[in-house]
């Protein structure tokens, strides 16, 4: 009886090992290769700068900001240039709906940048905005 149990456990262990090896070599999802950071020159080819914008906040103060928008391609950058009036509109609306506390600190700025990025990507038909950088912020 003991030999049968030992034989059964050995067979199960062998089956589990073979199954893992097959999964590891044939089924396991491949890791996505990490992208190299863009060179400064390539980055400038896909970035567009907004003008200074000043607007009132929901809480009564005001904010003055400036952004850099990084597109995923040169055609997307050209579309951003052509849609600048719509971009400014989206940014002003987004800012005007915020309280001063919403925009304080790193977390507040990151949330604002992500919010603007999402709204701009809904607008885009040629590519996407892959990053919004806040390059100036004056909050009062």
| Domain ranges (residues) in the chain | 42-139
What's the pLDDT tens digit per position in 13-69? 889 998 888 877 777 666 666 667 767 887 788 899 999 999 999 888 889 999 999
Note whether 46 and 70 are within 8 A (CB): yes
Q: Which CATH superfamily is domain 42-139 in?
A: Band 7 domain (3.30.479.30)
What's the pLDDT tens digit per position in 84-112? 999 999 999 999 999 888 888 899 999 99
Max CA pair span of the chain = 84
The confidence score (pLDDT) of residue 35 equals 63
The confidence score (pLDDT) of residue 65 equals 93
The whole-number average pLDDT for the span 107-118 is 93
Confidence of residue 119 (pLDDT cuts 50, 70, 90): very high
- Sort residue 62 into left (φ over 0), alpha (ψ -120 to 50) or beta: beta
What is the number of H-type helices and E-type strands within the chain?
Answer: 5, 4
Q: How far apart are the first and last CA of the chain?
A: 82
């Amino acid at each position: 009886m003991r030999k049968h149990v030992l034989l059964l456990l050995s067979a199960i262990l062998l089956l589990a090992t073979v199954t893992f090896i097959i999964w590891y070599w044939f089924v396991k999802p491949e890791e996505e290769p990490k992208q190299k950071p863009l060179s400064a020159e390539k980055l400038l080819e896909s970035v567009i700068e907004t003008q200074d914008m000043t607007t009132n906040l929901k809480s009564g103060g005001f904010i003055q900001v400036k952004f850099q928008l990084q597109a995923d391609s040169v055609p997307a950058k050209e579309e951003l240039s052509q849609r600048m009036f719509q971009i400014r509109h989206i940014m002003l609306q987004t800012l005007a709906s915020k309280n001063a506390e919403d925009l304080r600190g790193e977390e507040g700025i990151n949330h604002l940048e992500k919010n603007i990025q999402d709204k701009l990507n809904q607008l885009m038909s040629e590519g996407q905005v892959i990053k919004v950088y806040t390059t100036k912020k004056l909050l009062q």
